[in-house]
Amino acid sequence: MKQRTIAKSIDIVGIGLHKGVPVKMKLEPMSSNTGIIFYRSDKGVSIPLKIENVVDTKMATVIGKDDVLISTIEHLLSAVYAYGIDNLRIVINNDEVPALDGSSAGYCMLIEEAGIKKLDQSKKALKIKQKVSIETKDGKKVSLKPSNRIIYDFSIDFKHPIIGKQKYHFDYSILEYKENISKARTFGFLHDLQYLQSVGLAKGVSLDNVIALDDNKILNPNGLRYSDEFVRHKILDAIGDMALLGYTMIGEYNAHAGSHHLNHLLTKKLFEVEANYEIIDLEEAQDEASVFELAYAKV
């Protein structure tokens, strides 16, 4: 199996979630072994997608270099990672990735419009060999453990009448991702939004790009896309955060009330011990390559 990039460059303009200003972004194909690179065209600074370049995970995953930042990268990366794109340059003229409709469905459409190109070098994957976990005192936890498949299993428990307890099991393929994960939108509570806007954030938030909730109900006129859209979006985010591993993961991700911050701690902890993982060549490892061949089928 060979590495993948997109077949042609493609442009998009959208609004950033926090600053609320137009952002121009271009996805560009790259050669083998380049990886995923962000480029701030207004600053002339390249920021490779690496764990050490993560600078903030409070409300979104933010990478930075030389005091230049790019925020809210997880939805775009979720689609890039789900489509098995190994090499890509993301050119952006501001410090936020466009929010689109609050999901990654628009980025899936963008990737499919650009097309996928197979490259000359063999694709690598990261196989989880030992369980690694992060757990907080209040019961939030995330983990990676060995599996011959690619699985994301997430549960949440919100003290809200619309959300409550939700759980979702996602067995990865591109088609399953498109249909059951990519359309799930980010969500937020009205009281949080009011605070964020009071400190100059969330200026781009609207009912077009966020599921908004007050204390009792959903404020979006058209309601939900899935009854459990909230937990599905948490999986969307987790897939984007796992893109920081630098390779597509073979293993099982589990979380209860996980977050960008816990995902970042998890990826860091994984790399602390070499026995936790193995980088495999999918030209040589046929059993593992078959996992991807099935996952990429019909796309």
Tens digit of each residue's pLDDT (9 = 90 or more) over 125-163: 999 999 999 999 999 999 999 999 999 999 999 999 999
CATH of domain 124-296: 3.30.1700.10
For the record, the structure tokens of 12 come out as 């998009």
Give dist(CA 229, CA 172) in Å, integer: 17
What does the pLDDT read at residue 299? Answer: 61
What does the pLDDT read at residue 19? Answer: 78
CATH of domain 2-122: 3.30.230.20
| Whether the predicted model's global pTM rises above the 0.85 cut | yes
Of the candidates 18, 260, 261, 264, the residue annotated as catalytic is: 260
pLDDT for 298 beyond 70: no
Give dist(CA 187, CA 194) in Å, integer: 14
List strand residue ranges (DSSP E) for the chain, in order.
2-6, 10-15, 22-29, 36-40, 45-48, 54-56, 62-65, 68-70, 88-92, 116-122, 124-128, 132-135, 141-145, 150-158, 164-171, 187-189, 211-213, 248-256, 277-281
- Residue-wise pLDDT for 17-65, tens only, equals 877 889 999 999 999 999 999 999 999 999 999 999 999 998 899 999 9
Indicate the range of 13-22, 34-43, 71-80, 96-105 predicted with least confidence. 13-22
Q: Where in the chain is the domain with CATH 3.30.1700.10?
A: 124-296
Annotated catalytic residue 75: no
